[in-house]
Structure 1
Amino acid sequence: MKILGLIPARGGSKGIPGKNIKSLGRKPLLQYTFESAKNSKLLSKVILSSDDPEIIAVAEEIGLEVPFRRPTALAADDTPTLDVVKHALNYFAQKGQNFDAVCLLQPTTPFRRTGLIDEAIGKFISGNFDSLLSVREVPAEFNPHWLFEENESGSLRLATGEKEIISRRQELPVAYHRDGAIYITKTEVLQKQNSLYGNNIGFIDTTGDPYVNIDIPQDWEKAERLLTMLSDFS
């Protein structure tokens, strides 16, 4: 299976200006994701998609391929990730290069354990999933079966629509949230269903792994603390 590894990194970050190339330890942030992708044996090609000349320059300096400059129209705050992925696929298709799937690797989730990408790809292929996501368990206090929302009369109801609350933590079904580290999707799902997910979604559980998804300054501080504990990434 031919799989495109796509690292999206637009300019104009507001929460942490220049975060994609800001130095975390001794490396620009996006280098952590690139090194994880470079170590994969199952990604056919790894590229950067960016609109920003400074990000592109840093990427090229560390050896990350930048085959195109992303159009400004696809680099706004509200640009759907799906459009960014399809733009990359269409670029290569016009050059006669086609991929069976895309593995999206966001630089804002910099820490991936060794072998995680290939483990995820292997599960994606063997399960014949439309897509596969890396996920983490939701803590019990945030489990959807213990969440409430306001109803029309101003009182609370269970967000799941159930009539009775599950009283014991041990009886809660395991729930997961996306951690942002890995999204893999078949090209036919992206193109024909216009979806990053499709209907048959696989997952790989990263609950036990070090984790941060960088969006605000407090997240960056957490990343710096984690880095001091993770010699593999220094």
Structure 2
Amino acid sequence: MDILFTLCGRAGSKGVKGKNARDFMDIPLCWYSMAGIALYIKQHTTADDHIDVVLNTDSEDLIRLVESANELPVAVLRRDESLAGDCVPKVAVILDCLTRAEKMFNANYDVVVDLDITSPLRTVEDIKNAIDRKVSRSEVDVVYSVAPSRRNPYFNMVKEENGFFCKAIPSNFTTRQEAPVFYDMNASIYAYSSKALKEKEQATFFNSNCDAVIMQDTGVLDIDSEEDYELMQVIAKYLFDNKENFKQTFELAKSWK
């Protein structure tokens, strides 16, 4: 199987300045995703598998950090300015990775796996589950990771409308258990079909023909604010101290310092 892993991060960030090149638990944040890839290669590939890893960025700091962890070879794709804006869909960046990697490595990839740099709390089993799910469902355009939602639009989520607040979706449910089950996209893992990346409309990519794998609810889904950055490190310390599957990613990343 041919797999392309992508790491994508801009230099600019509105919510958390320079977040992609920050440390997390005194280790570069990007190393957690890299450690996950390294563990997947070590534990779940064979001699018949071909794995390439690329970094797509306009950040010199991020390039420096990724290249300093030379135990995992990563090819750097310098991001064009046209793909560095606030409103550019990430699918467009993943397609750029795929197109350029195919030429660089002369490869045809079965799956393109993006690991979001700002979602460090994942295990190698989570990565394997997403890839296996995508391989088992060739008709699916993407398999992404989710966590059980703490709120439900039929029960305890509300919106403002005409000067009043009301349920996001009108219903007669009196308990959350009665309402349809919802999940949060936790912005951690995406396993794409190469064909779909090339052919599907980017703006509506996630509106249809998707599947998901469920990850552990860690409370904070990804780092999107200074509060997220602080709180996720508290959660991470607990997981690294008490959960072996989370700890092995941390220990590998720490060994690269």
Shared fold, TM over 0.5: yes
Deviation string for 1:101-160 (max 9, x for gaps)?
A: 211111100111232101211112113322111101112xx2011234455x65566433
Q: Does 1:185 align with 2:196?
A: no
Equivalent in the alignment of 1:25: 25
Q: Which ranges in structure 1 are unaligned for 5 or more consecutive residues?
A: none
RMSD: 2.2
Q: Does 1:200 align with 2:209?
A: yes
Equivalent in the alignment of 2:255: none
Cα gap change, 1:123 to 1:217, in 2 (>3 Å):
same
Determine helix, strand or coil for the equivalent of 1:135. Answer: strand
Q: In terms of mean alpha carbon deviation, does 10-19 or 92-101 score higher?
A: 92-101
Counterpart CA distance in 2 for 1:14 and 1:228 is: 26
Equivalent in the alignment of 2:108: 98
Equivalent residue pairs, number: 229
Counterpart CA distance in 1 for 2:103 and 2:111 is: 16
Equivalent in the alignment of 2:6: 6
Equivalent in the alignment of 2:177: 170
Percent sequence identity over matched residues?
Answer: 27
Counterpart CA distance in 2 for 1:183 and 1:213 is: 14
Counterpart CA distance in 1 for 2:228 and 2:119 is: 10
Counterpart CA distance in 2 for 1:226 and 1:169 is: 26
1:185 and 1:197 in contact (8 A); partners too: no
Deviation string for 1:203-230 (max 9, x for gaps)?
A: 1111345754111111111122123221
Equivalent in the alignment of 1:119: 129
Q: What is the deviation of 1:54?
A: 1.6
Counterpart CA distance in 1 for 2:188 and 2:28 is: 17
> TM-score, normalized by length of structure 2?
0.80
1:49 and 1:69 in contact (8 A); partners too: yes
Query: Out of 214, 218, 224, which is 2:223 matched to?
Result: 214
Q: Which amino acid aligns with 2:10?
A: R
Residues 47-86 of structure 1 aligned to structure 2 (within 5 Å): 47-63=54-70, 64-86=73-95
Query: Out of 141, 153, 158, which is 1:144 matched to?
Result: 153
Deviation string for 1:46-92 (max 9, x for gaps)?
A: 22111111211111111251332111221122221011011111112
> TM-score, normalized by length of structure 1?
0.87
